Structure formats: structure tokens, C-alpha cells
Amino acid sequence: MSTFNGIVDEFPDIRIDFFRKHANIRPPLACFLSHVHSDHLAGLETLRSPFVYCSAATRAMLLKLERYPCRINYSKGILEARKQTYSSLARILKPIPLDTPTKIELAPNTFITVTLIDANHCPGSVMFLIEGGGRAILYTGDIRCEPWHIECLANKSCLLEYTSGIKILDKIYLDTSHLGDVHFQPNAQGIADLVRKVTQYPNDTIFYLHSRTFGYENVWTALAKALDTQVHLDDYKLRVYRCSESPWLNGYVVGNSTHPGCLSSNRQARVHACESRDRCETARQKGIVTIYPVVVLFPDGTGIPEIGVGGGGSDLQREAELDLVDVEDVDQVLQDIILPQGASVEELLVGREKLARARDTGRAVSLDIPVTRMTDDLKSDFQTIQEQAMNKTSLPTQEAIINGDMDLPKVIKFAFARHSSYPEQCELVKLFRPRDVWPCTENLKDWTDKGISVASLFGKYCSGTNFAYDTLLDEFQQMAPTRQEERAHTESQTHSTRYETMTDSVSQNISSPEIIRGVCYDSLQSDQYEPHCLRTRLDTVLSELAEISDSGEDVCYGSVKSLPKRKAQEHVDECSVTTSSNKTRRADIEQSPSQIRHSVYNLMLENASGVNWHTISLISTNDNHSMLDHEL
């Protein structure tokens, strides 16, 4: 999954593939979207400006996507599902043709030149070559740079200056999803092996292909041609793909003859790629042969699952997503959902770390629940989520066979990768020989623990020796002792006390007011307006009044809840005296706005103590309009 935060050091006025706001950084003047996978869309649904530049295919497909993010609902304590679409972005999405340098004006007399290059990842996916002000960078997005793709890049005229050494790229922002030194088969070879296997089955065999995201279109067309059939998709996928202009997928017209594409809603097709957990009747029949893509297929028949590698694992499945915005969101999920499932303290800490990492990268967490199965309260479904998460990366075994003399398996695996292997990444960097490389799929802690660095991975293929990400790694490593001490202290005191308390409260089923964002809150308690709760809220008012007051006279400072009961009563009595003196002087002098606020606060404090009750009216409606307004 991409962890890139969208910031390009060489061009600080643009953002790429990340659209959430950054603190203390000025808003961008232009945004860019490489493709439609969900881990590259963070914050896009709420963006209203500036323009977002992308390929024409990306724009068309994005406007058809449906998202179902779930946000923490503090008022009900549940996860509330909400449908979210990108249709509101139609006016700010601006398509740019591929392989065509395009000038974009960021500000008066400030221009950059942007060139889109095919990334060989999914429909509409592109790389961005950005030039301007004597700087140049290449952002790869998600890319599969197979040998044929590297050769194609070397022959593109728009990249010739950089591939021939005439100019040097300042930096390549590289997709580093795979860093293991493992060779990947070319996708064409994997598809060819798949075609050889499926053609051995009887002519009435039905195949189901697990394609949970964009990028398997070449597999569909190859199977459709080899088996002389169409590919059945569910209605949602068909709506998304109908917007593309691919003749092979959607059909075309030659003269007066109409030629249908290979994608169809016909459920009698031999190849099915409909929604995996809501299959059609044909795809649920016995004797179905299931096809699974794997990143690498080993000689013994095992493989590395492709699903979810590098992000975008469920973009074609209409699933619920958990959007973690604040730190409180993470804690709320742990307390309200994970903890009641009986998780241990160790599991809670691991779960919190994973949720916090998703929040820090600004990405949503897939709940792996189809929209059709969602309820108003997802707590009841969380056990299913956990079970599915445990089995998500496992592949079924080839334990059953089709009747016949050839003992054909019911599960077919084929090699197909949408991200580059480490050797392929090296070939891409070697082609351009940039000054620096920035990893777009990384984790500081993992890289530090494993001793990985940009210099060790790509240093010998770069023309420079100073790597910005390695500097960040050094700073992170220097802070390691301090972080370990803080973590040990936190785990020994904060986490143990907190989660033991949380566990006890859940096991004993105690209903007590919650403190959420510093406010005493419990929608089910009848005493939520009692003085002890009101005082908690009044503390916030007191701190705000202290900041805005221009005079400290006759003001009672301090926190009522932090005082003992006796001291609190004395505090209220002192405020009562102050309030009485204010009443006496009210006829003699005209109060300033700050003094009025102080008097109102003291009246509220006295009301909360239960000693006396004073009516507090708005100035505009006091005395029921029986007093004449002062002449100006």
C-alpha cells in the first residue's frame, strides 16, 4: 500500500496521490492523480480545489466509483456507514493526453511541464514527469516495469533526454512495494500458462477468476478469446468499465455491423469475475474451477498471494471502509469494538499499532464486509471481520479434482503481478540514473530494524550520493533510544492501566459516563446534567474566558473538579460574594463586555453548585423587551 504523503520537495506547490491537508504547509496550486486504486485517493472525496490532473481513463472510471467509508459516530458509539461518491469532482478533474508535454500555470508567470507516461499497472495508470524551474522529477505511482516496458520507456521521445543522459532527474519517487530479491515472471508468460491450463478442461467447464481490483483486463480478454466466450461481471463492475473506450472490452462498430465486447451481463458465460461474495447462480454451482492470481508461482505449486499486495486490494468490491481521522478514532475502535471480542492486551497493542499506522498514512482500513451485509451496528460483524482477515492471504489447496482421466484440479494459480519486483525497480533506476530515489511504499521503523536504506538498494544506480530518505532514517535512528524509553514507560503505565481498566469495565458490564475529547458524556445516563458533569464542561469555559479577558478583577480562576469537595464549596462561596458585589455595583457603573461574561460565569457556577438558582437571560431578550433601547 502506498504511504506517500503527496509532498514533492522539488515542487512544493503540487500534491500527488494524497489530498488531505498538511499542518503548517500551504495548500497546493495543482494536484495529480496517477490511477484509481483506493490507497491513492486519500482525501480526494472532500477536495474542492485546485484542479486535479489525470489521464482520461482515470477520470472516467473515478466518477463511477462508489466508496463506503465508515466514520466513528461519537453520539451513538457505533460505526455508521455512509455512501460516498466522487461525482462532485467532475468539474475539477482535468484529463491530460499521454506522452504529451503539457504546460500548467500554477501562478502568474509560474509554469511547470507535465508529461503522463503509461505505468503498466491498471487502466489509466500513469507516471508523471514534472519539469520546471531547472528541476525535474519522475513520479512512478504504482508501476510494473517489465523488461518490455523498460524497453518502451527507453524509446519514448518525451523521455529521451533523461534516458540518454543529456539531462538528469533530480529524484525518482518510486513504487517500492516489493523489495525481496525475487524474480517475477512476465505477466504475458503467466497468462499464457493460464490459457494452456484452462484449454485442457471440458467445453462445459465454468471458471471463476478472483479479480478484486483493476488491472486484470488482459487476463479477461485472453480467456475470452481462448475459450470463445464472454466474461460475466456484476452490475457495479459493468458500470465502471462501460465508461472506458476499450473496443475489446465494450464492443465496437465496423460499417453497419456491431461487434460486442468480451464483457457481458450474461450469466451463462464460461468465465465469471462477478463479486466474489455475491456470486451469480452459475458461479455458485458445483464443479466450478477457481482461478487465483499469485505474485510468484513456485515449482511446488505454492505462491505468494496477489490480493492486497501494494494496495487497491478490494477496489472492485463494494466494501465498507474505516476512515481513521484522529487519535481518538483509533482508541474508540479498540474500546468499543475490539476489546469486547476478548482480545488480550498484546493483541490490543498490535491492533492499535496497525490502526495508528493506517491513520498516520492517511489511508482508510478495509473492513472486508460487503455493503449488502452491513448493519447499523458493525460491532456484531467484527468477529467475522477478524476471521476473514486471518484467512485473507491464504490460498485454497488443490484438494478436489474434476471428473476425468486427466485429474484436473479445481483451483488454478497463475503468476500475475501488478507491481515491480526489486530487480525490475533496479532496471528502471538504472535506465534514468537519477540523483536521488524516494520510496513511496515504506515504513521508517521496518527499514531501520532491517537495516535497509536507499543507498544500499539503489545507490549504485544513481548519479548522486546524498539521499534524502536516508537522512530521515538517520534522524529516526538517533531518536530510537528516546522512543524506546518513552514506549517502555507508556506500556508499563498508560497501556497496562488503561486496558486493564477497560477490560474490567467490559467484563463487569459497568455503565459509567465516558470522557470523550475532555467532555463527560453518556447519552444513556440520566445524571448527565448533574453538577459534577456540568463542572467538567464549565472548566473549558473558564479557560476560554481566562484567555479572552482583558481584566483579572473579580474573577475566580481554577478547576472545580480538581478541588476537594470542601474547597470546591469555598470556591463557589467566594464566587457568590463576587457575584453579589457585582450586583451591587451594577447600578453604579456600566459593565464592560468582559465583566458581563465574568458575572454570567459566576452565576452559572453558583447554579451548578445547587446552592441557589439565578435566571440568566440573553441581553437582547432581557425584561421581555419592557425597557426602551438606549438612544445612540
Distance of CA 616 to the CA centre of its chain: 47
Of 7-16, 84-93, 413-422, 481-490, where does mean pLDDT reach its minimum? 481-490
| pLDDT for residue 599 | 78
Cβ–Cβ under 8 Å, residues 322 and 330: no
What is the pLDDT confidence band of residue 483, given thresholds at 50, 70 and 90?
A: low
| pLDDT for residue 132 | 95
| pLDDT for residue 465 | 93
Grid cell of 369 as nine digits: 464486509
Alpha helix stretches (DSSP H) within 586-628: 593-609
| pLDDT for residue 93 | 95
What are the CA-CA distances from residue 27 to residues 19, 40, 101, 336, 377 (Å)?
A: 10, 18, 25, 35, 37
pLDDT tens-place string over residues 250-282: 888 998 888 888 898 888 899 999 887 778 888
Q: What is the mean pLDDT of the chain?
A: 74
> Strands 519-521, 514-516: parallel, antiparallel or unpaired by DSSP?
antiparallel
Neighbours of 248 (CB within 10 A): 16
Neighbours of 502 (CB within 10 A): 18
Q: Indicate if the pLDDT at residue 413 is higher than 60.
A: yes
Give the residue, 438 or 377, on which the prediction is more confident.
Answer: 438
- How many Å apart are CA 140 and CA 8, to the nearest integer? 13
Q: What is the mean pLDDT of residues 334-363?
A: 56
pLDDT tens-place string over residues 539-576: 554 555 555 544 444 444 444 444 444 444 544 455 44
| pLDDT for residue 486 | 57
